[in-house]
Structure 1
Amino acid sequence: MVSAILIDDEKVSLQELTYMLVQYKEIQILGTFTDPVEALKEIPKLNPDVIFLDIEMPEVNGFEVAEQIEKLSVEPAIVFVTAYDEYAIRAFEVNAVDYILKPISPKRIRNTLQKLMKKKFHPDSQGKKKYVSRQKSIDFNKVYDNRFSKVFIYQGEEIILLKPSDILYFMVEGGVVTVVTQQKTYKTRESLNYWEEKLQRQGFFRCHRCYLVNLEKIEKVILMFNSTYLLKLASSTAEIPVSRNYSKLLKQILI
């Protein structure tokens, strides 16, 4: 069971979020607040596991609330819920667990709750409840849920934003997925299956168990043996194999 409080200055948004959350027996709502200042007074008493927090509020914004929460005797997880996507990077900097864009979908809420349930809340030496997560940062590719025009590639402490149209292909080698653009290559922590699911509606095709290719970049299709193909891409010397399992589907797509 995960206990939560909700903070949003808009009553309608607060009611919608409350309705979605109460559908899950795994979460207990301890309180809802339209006034963030009042919420700050009640948080130490309620001691929630997680706070669902709006960002754009008239008197005190969500980031200011998060900063004040850090000074309290409790340490809940923070999930930002907002209509504005431009704050996502800053949310990452303050170690928010998740970042949900309005309008909120039931699927998005379910994903967030699954993430919360997989984590653990441990009291420290002073009895302060602390949210412990193996995943230190927000997964921005899930945050935007295909509504954003770029994909996020994690490179150490940096996040590289790439347009899908700039990506030639993805490849797996030695268990590591590499993103290949015309200018540069990047290692990514996500699986090829993950990228296939995310980008298939943006013109990417799984042509081989080790390759995901941008269909717009295909310049030439070379017929090989046993109904297999090689793909030549624009602005690249790479030759991408198409296995028999995918060759028929590729033919249907291209014809």
Structure 2
Amino acid sequence: MKVMIAEDEWLARKELVYLLGMEEDIELMPHASNGKELLELVNEWEPDAIFLDIQMPELDGMQAARMLKTAAQVPLIVFTTAHDDHAVEAFGLNAVDYLLKPYSHERLKESLARIRSKLSNSPLTTSLPSKMQFSSKARNWNKLLIIDGEKHVLLDPETILYAEREEKSIHIYTYSNQIYMSKMSLQELENKLGELPFFRPHRSYLVNLNGIDELVPWFNGAFNLILRNEKRTQLPVSREMAKELFRLLK
């Protein structure tokens, strides 16, 4: 995976180079220190993804991203910034992620997981019939704001595997084994996800239908879902909800 960094601050660029250098599948391209330099390098090197600082001289990250839409090979973009003021505008440009400085290695790994998923045409959106796909409207704005303690995380719904109710909060689990805690209810989360293919197999769970690998009969018409992750997580499906689930999956 060819990755380019566009960053005018030397220390921030050095930190990204170090963290990205820990990933075996990443080949770092020449770096850019401003938007104009970035456009020239992209045409020459055709990177798969760019970590693009928003505030740069001559041509800022937002302007550069708009101009990159006409590139021969349009790269995936992760915006980087010390502020969250531009989040809405960033995702309006179909950014893969919005990464706040100072960088967290775990948060960076989640950004990389999103990039890899999109580059490999991950089965997150291809494993079920067309009526289960993420709608084109949803793709145009595909970030969910999760308030996890003092953190405000912009989460791609496609990366959510399932959510579980825990007393007065919920835990949200991603395909990359990240866990986020939120004070919202499962119903509130379901409402935020709108038309996306999520289902309530049980009152305590909300699951991404694209993340289901197997349905195993249990007893009295109930089932267990086996999820598509390393742990092969099992979730219960009540007898009442099993019929609706099978109807959706047909």
Equivalent position amino acid for 1:63 in 2: M
> Where does the alignment leave 5 or more consecutive residues of structure 1 unmatched?
123-133, 155-163, 171-176, 194-207, 213-255
Aligned to 1:77: 76
The normalised TM-score by structure 1 is: 0.54
Pairing 1:25-64 to 2, within 5 Å after superposition: 25-64=24-63
2:187 to 149, 169, 178: 178
What do the CA deviations read for 1:145-197 (whole angstroms, capped 9, x no partner)? Answer: 6545699999xxxxxxxxx9xx9862xxxxxx4229xxxx935359799xxxx
Q: Report the Cα distance in structure 2 between the residues aligned to 1:100 and 1:191, rounded to whole angstroms.
A: 26
The alignment yields a C-alpha RMSD, in angstroms, of 3.7
Give yes or no for the alignment of 1:210 onto 2:199. no
Secondary structure (helix, strand or coil) at the match of 1:66 reads: helix
Conserved 8 A contact 1:54-1:82: yes
Equivalent position amino acid for 2:143 in 1: D
Equivalent position amino acid for 2:191 in 1: Y
Conserved 8 A contact 1:8-1:57: yes
Conserved 8 A contact 1:79-1:98: yes
Q: Report the Cα distance in structure 2 between the residues aligned to 1:45 and 1:99, rounded to whole angstroms.
A: 25
Equivalent position amino acid for 1:103 in 2: P
Aligned to 1:229: none
| Change over 3 Å in CA distance of 1:109–1:192 after alignment to 2 | farther
Q: Report the Cα distance in structure 2 between the residues aligned to 1:120 and 1:57, rounded to whole angstroms.
A: 27
Aligned to 1:96: 95
Quote the offset at 1:139 in angstroms: 2.9
Pairing 1:215-234 to 2, within 5 Å after superposition: none
| Change over 3 Å in CA distance of 1:190–1:57 after alignment to 2 | farther
Larger Rg: 1
Q: Report the Cα distance in structure 2 between the residues aligned to 1:34 and 1:119, rounded to whole angstroms.
A: 26
| Change over 3 Å in CA distance of 1:153–1:9 after alignment to 2 | closer
Quote the offset at 1:210 in angstroms: 2.1
> Where does the alignment leave 5 or more consecutive residues of structure 2 unmatched?
122-133, 158-168, 170-181, 207-250
Q: Report the Cα distance in structure 1 between the residues aligned to 2:84 and 2:102, rounded to whole angstroms.
A: 12
Count of residue pairs the alignment pairs up: 164
Quote the offset at 1:108 in angstroms: 0.6
Give yes or no for the alignment of 1:139 onto 2:143. yes
Q: Report the Cα distance in structure 2 between the residues aligned to 1:113 and 1:99, rounded to whole angstroms.
A: 12
Aligned to 2:9: 10
Conserved 8 A contact 2:3-2:50: yes
Q: Report the Cα distance in structure 2 between the residues aligned to 1:192 and 1:105, rounded to whole angstroms.
A: 32
Equivalent position amino acid for 1:18 in 2: V
Q: Report the Cα distance in structure 2 between the residues aligned to 1:69 and 1:87, rounded to whole angstroms.
A: 18
Quote the offset at 1:71 in angstroms: 2.0
Q: Report the Cα distance in structure 2 between the residues aligned to 1:39 and 1:110, rounded to whole angstroms.
A: 23
Q: Report the Cα distance in structure 1 between the residues aligned to 2:43 and 2:50, rounded to whole angstroms.
A: 12
Equivalent position amino acid for 2:21 in 1: V
Secondary structure (helix, strand or coil) at the match of 1:57 reads: coil
- Percent identity between matched residues is 30
